[in-house]
Structure 1
Amino acid sequence: MSYKHILVAVDLSEESDFLVKKAVALAKPLQAELSFIHIDVNYAEVYTGLIDINLAETQHQTMESSQKFLQKIADNAQYPIKHTLVGSGDLGNELCDTISEFKVDLLVCGHHQDFWSKFLSSTRQLINCSPVDMLVVPLKEQ
């Protein structure tokens, strides 16, 4: 199968560069479009009311910071990046909506192989809802 548009879900950690390199290595021979996405936490959903913060301002600053970091990753990718997207909310819903909207046919994401990921894995959530093929890249503990 030949993929035409690859979406890389990154968490903006050091492992993001590793994922990008894997995706670029796949996209180059296929001449596929490549896009990046990061889904931030939606603070309004986790706010308990115990602290006094401006949720809208905090969300805006977080998304702006994420966009800058994502653009930095894109600038270093050594491959043309079609979209750098930042969203917030439920990871599965946001990714599925993006996949549909941008006509993505492969989702690339990482999976930490550590103690906590055995119990709390966002990748498992994606496997259960992704409408397209997925490449899950193992991210071993450093």
Structure 2
Amino acid sequence: MSYKHILVALDLSDESKLLIDKAVSLAKPLDAELSFIHIDVNYTELYTGLIDVNLAENQNKTMEASLAQLQAFADYASYPVKHSLVGSGDLSNELTDTIKEFNIDLVVCGHHQDFWSKLLSSTRQLINTSPVDLLVVPIKD
């Protein structure tokens, strides 16, 4: 199978470069399109009590910072990045919608191999919901 559009799910940590390197090494020989996505937690959906902070304003600042970081990763990639996307909310829902909207046929994501990831893994959720091929890259901690 020849992939045409690869989406890399990034958590914006330094380990993201490992995922970018892997995705670029796949995209180059296939002349595939490459896109990045980062899903922020939507704090306005998580918190239902009173709080003396403008959550929407903080969410916008967070998304702007995430876009700037994605641009830095796009520069690092040394390969054309078609889309740099930032979403918020449920990871699997956001990725599924993005896959459909942008005709993605491969998602590259990382999986930390540490104690907490054994208990709380977003990758397991992706495996159960992804409508396309998923490449899980182990990240040793």
Identify the TM-score tier after normalising by the shorter chain.
Answer: over 0.9
C-alpha distance in 1 between matches for 2:5 and 2:44: 32
Aligned equivalent of 2:114: 114
Q: Deviations over 1:12-48 (max 9, x none)?
A: 0011111000000010001000000000000112224
Aligned equivalent of 1:80: 80
Aligned equivalent of 1:24: 24
| Cα drift, residue 75 of structure 1 | 1.0
C-alpha distance in 2 between matches for 1:29 and 1:47: 45
Map of 1:43-58 to 2, 5 A cutoff? 43-58=43-58
Q: 68-77 or 50-59, which moves further after superposition? A: 50-59
C-alpha distance in 1 between matches for 2:107 and 2:79: 17
| Cα drift, residue 51 of structure 1 | 3.0
Can you give the 5+ residue segments of structure 1 that lack an aligned partner in the other structure?
none
Letter in 1 for 2:128: N
Aligned equivalent of 2:15: 15
Letter in 1 for 2:132: V
C-alpha distance in 2 between matches for 1:64 and 1:76: 19
Aligned equivalent of 1:62: 62
The alignment partner of 2:120 has SS state of coil
Q: Deviations over 1:45-100 (max 9, x none)?
A: 22242531101101100000000001110011010000000000000000000000
C-alpha distance in 2 between matches for 1:2 and 1:22: 16
The alignment partner of 1:136 has SS state of strand
The alignment partner of 2:77 has SS state of coil
The alignment partner of 2:13 has SS state of coil
CA RMSD of aligned residues (A): 0.8
Moved over 4 A (4+): none
* Equivalences, count: 141
TM-score in terms of structure 2 length:
0.98
Counting aligned pairs with the same residue, the percent is 75
Q: Deviations over 1:99-132 (max 9, x none)?
A: 0000000000000000001110000000000000
Can you give the 5+ residue segments of structure 2 that lack an aligned partner in the other structure?
none
